[in-house]
Structure 1
């Protein structure tokens, strides 16, 4: 992601990056060997909520954490990737309060011990960092651990948990085709790999029937107690409230703090997952969780900071790391909802890496956005050339221009709308790497 601030843990991880490959080499052999050398810490965790999916897994993780913490439980959380600092991947639970990002000395010590246990054997850095998750979570007591899958499911390094309290599979769409397959049913089969025989499974809202069918058939084959969105639980907005329903009845809840209608289904999946995992949380705790949930870099509004000063006066500036066509669709729907409430011209500032499919992403915004500005991504060596990305946007039908930075794009937009009475709405997105750079440059990293 963005350049990591100077830290002892960052130094240890950068040393590993120089020795081991950055990417993914999907297999469980190396992580299994390493965990055995560490005494199998993954077998000493509190109950685990294991979350996979193409889109929405981060939101489901955030909602689950918020609800459980509102109930007074201590919650470990593993997410990836980070936006600004490596520490964001490891949140350690605090009894009766909100968890805190791991301290630098504790993380640095854990990284050193895992690297030593690996003994120089061939391994990816993601696998080392996943082993760090299990070591930290085993050594610090908590009531529950929420562990987000990195890539896929079946061969993801997190998939060494023998008996999860619940496996959650969120919406599936095309992404990481080089690793997971070029059809949604193939990707669904990989994500379904986190399901374990006889363990509860929650299946979030699926736009693709083929993906849903694969997930359901896998859960049935493994004899998993199964809860499917739209069949066993659901949620919708009614009179400005969120109505949630499962086999236990109806709950009248506040709308989630995270913006966008797509978050209703994500929140519903989290509620069902927490219950399926065996936590009897009260409706009051669910209410507090939905009202207080936070998930940086996903439809996050920037209201202050260094970069905001470059934009037009009164502009609404949003950042979102969604980077595939499915994510583009839900983000565009959220922007359309904002437009219904308050009409403003929409401008896009987009950067992407070369494993993504920009055409589908841009197409989702075709009837919404006025203009697209494409930017380089400083935090990745795989960033798409802004000129080529602007050409992709133009091929969809946008007026598109390549610029040198987000700050320049904001300045150009400010000059464009100088006489416009309605301050614009600006979305900065297309990549979590770009969002990480923006949050770092703005002086508002996740905490």
Structure 2
């Protein structure tokens, strides 16, 4: 492989092998590559919602402390390379190609014994290889799916494990009940780990405390760090223990908790209050209540399950302009529950499809009685006078819409 396009094509071919939970293939890959996943200090982040935002806050805090911070996240919103970043800068093409060739060679050597490797396993190995080469001060690894069997869980000695939230998502793989899903997420907690947890459902707090107790892991709740917060027209403001009131770089009451996860972790690492406060202000995360256009006002939000939609709806209740929702909810998500929540803030909910294997087709949506529109024609004609358009339903969907908006420049009469 010589270009990023070669790498993306190679990874795309691996999607055919689906999702295969388990760590044996990853462990064999890293052994073949002679990589110790714990050679660089790591922070491991799992949860249903809030992982990416927590990573964004923590990355900015570390950078403000003067450290080099690597991040591995998914999915991407703007470009594929943002899944592997150093100090918020996506991996360079030369480094992407170098790592991909090394991983592909290792896969070829091992295939007779371990079989085929999945796309996410290959990508995770690629990230480990790259960070083993550049050696940042810390790497923050975001779990792809679940925790205990996720390919990132080859980490044996993370400095901290963060559980952001537990909700109903990926039930076909993780389990039908919150308790089953939670046990999968808790799987990133290792012996003696410092654990930070967001606000969990009451029935999950005791199981998490027991899980940590069995592993001599210390546990601190995000709520313990929050002194107060307020939302108004100027943004989201929060005061944390020892940290003066600060306007958060990401909006919404749910971001107060995500930021609290990062505050607690940064304090455990001994980062300064100045760096923590700067990180709170500077955090940016595409697709999380992101204003992509001001005239007309268009906001992208990646809410893709009932818990994520609740957080979005709670934020939208602060809005004064009429709201229009454009969404595409994937086939494996609880569409009816999400639509019912959207109806709390607006009767104008339009559903569409996009080029993605798990997207509901226009025919399926019509059969379900949805208010169906064709995406490209809607974007080309939308003017949105005195309205706020919320694009949501899937991180994959908002990534596509974001690109279309910027490419079509249908807001050229206003200001992007």
Q: Same fold (TM over 0.5)?
A: yes
Note if 1:381 corresponds to 2:374: no
Counterpart CA distance in 2 for 1:387 and 1:214 is 43
Alpha-carbon spacing, 1:16–1:303, altered in 2? closer, same or farther (3 Å):
closer
Match of 1:13 among 8, 22, 28: 8
Counterpart CA distance in 2 for 1:22 and 1:63 is 34
Match of 1:318 among 287, 299, 307: 299
Q: Which has the higher mean CA deviation after the structures are superposed, 320-329 or 113-122? A: 113-122
Counterpart CA distance in 1 for 2:397 and 2:388 is 18
Counterpart CA distance in 2 for 1:391 and 1:213 is 43
Residue 303 of structure 1 corresponds to which residue in structure 2? 293
Residue 410 of structure 2 corresponds to which residue in structure 1? none
Counterpart CA distance in 2 for 1:383 and 1:56 is 23
Alpha-carbon spacing, 1:19–1:220, altered in 2? closer, same or farther (3 Å):
closer
- CA shift, 1:315, in A, is 2.7
Residue 251 of structure 1 corresponds to which residue in structure 2? 243
Counterpart CA distance in 1 for 2:127 and 2:227 is 32
- CA shift, 1:202, in A, is 0.4
Alpha-carbon spacing, 1:227–1:54, altered in 2? closer, same or farther (3 Å):
same
Residue 121 of structure 2 corresponds to which residue in structure 1? 127
Residue 3 of structure 1 corresponds to which residue in structure 2? none
**SS state of the match for residue 371, structure 2?**
strand
Deviations 1:269-296 (A, max 9, x none): 11112223x2x22222122111111101
- CA shift, 1:408, in A, is 2.8
Match of 1:23 among 15, 18, 30: 18
Counterpart CA distance in 1 for 2:182 and 2:333 is 18
**SS state of the match for residue 364, structure 1?**
helix
- CA shift, 1:21, in A, is 2.9
**SS state of the match for residue 370, structure 1?**
coil
Counterpart CA distance in 2 for 1:386 and 1:299 is 26
Match of 2:338 among 352, 361, 364: 361
Deviations 1:385-426 (A, max 9, x none): 23534665x6xxxxx521111x43345653xx66xxxx1011
Counterpart CA distance in 1 for 2:251 and 2:285 is 11
Counterpart CA distance in 2 for 1:215 and 1:409 is 46
- CA shift, 1:23, in A, is 2.8
Residue 57 of structure 2 corresponds to which residue in structure 1? 63
Residue 179 of structure 2 corresponds to which residue in structure 1? 185
Note if 1:229 corresponds to 2:222: yes
Residue 401 of structure 1 corresponds to which residue in structure 2? 371
Residue 414 of structure 2 corresponds to which residue in structure 1? none
TM-score by length of 2: 0.90
Residue 291 of structure 1 corresponds to which residue in structure 2? 281
Alpha-carbon spacing, 1:377–1:235, altered in 2? closer, same or farther (3 Å):
farther
Note if 1:371 corresponds to 2:348: yes
Tell me how many residue pairs correspond in the alignment.
Answer: 397
Counterpart CA distance in 2 for 1:190 and 1:30 is 19
Residue 214 of structure 1 corresponds to which residue in structure 2? 207
- CA shift, 1:20, in A, is 5.5
Q: Is the 8 A contact 1:195 1:219 kept in 2?
A: yes
Q: Is the 8 A contact 1:235 1:265 kept in 2?
A: no
Counterpart CA distance in 2 for 1:21 and 1:225 is 40
**SS state of the match for residue 401, structure 1?**
coil
Q: Is the 8 A contact 1:358 1:389 kept in 2?
A: no
Match of 1:108 among 65, 72, 97: 97
Alpha-carbon spacing, 1:43–1:284, altered in 2? closer, same or farther (3 Å):
closer
TM-score by length of 1: 0.84
Residue 440 of structure 1 corresponds to which residue in structure 2? 403
Counterpart CA distance in 2 for 1:387 and 1:347 is 22
Note if 1:118 corresponds to 2:123: no
Q: Is the 8 A contact 1:235 1:264 kept in 2?
A: no
Residue 48 of structure 1 corresponds to which residue in structure 2? 42
- CA shift, 1:243, in A, is 1.5
What is the 5 A alignment of 1:170-181? 170-181=164-175
Q: Which runs of 5+ in 2 are unaligned?
A: 408-416
Note if 1:77 corresponds to 2:71: yes
Alpha-carbon spacing, 1:300–1:117, altered in 2? closer, same or farther (3 Å):
same
**SS state of the match for residue 38, structure 2?**
helix
Note if 1:351 corresponds to 2:321: no
Q: Which has the higher mean CA deviation after the structures are superposed, 174-183 or 64-73? A: 64-73
- CA shift, 1:26, in A, is 0.6
**SS state of the match for residue 42, structure 1?**
coil
- CA shift, 1:370, in A, is 3.0
Counterpart CA distance in 1 for 2:291 and 2:396 is 17
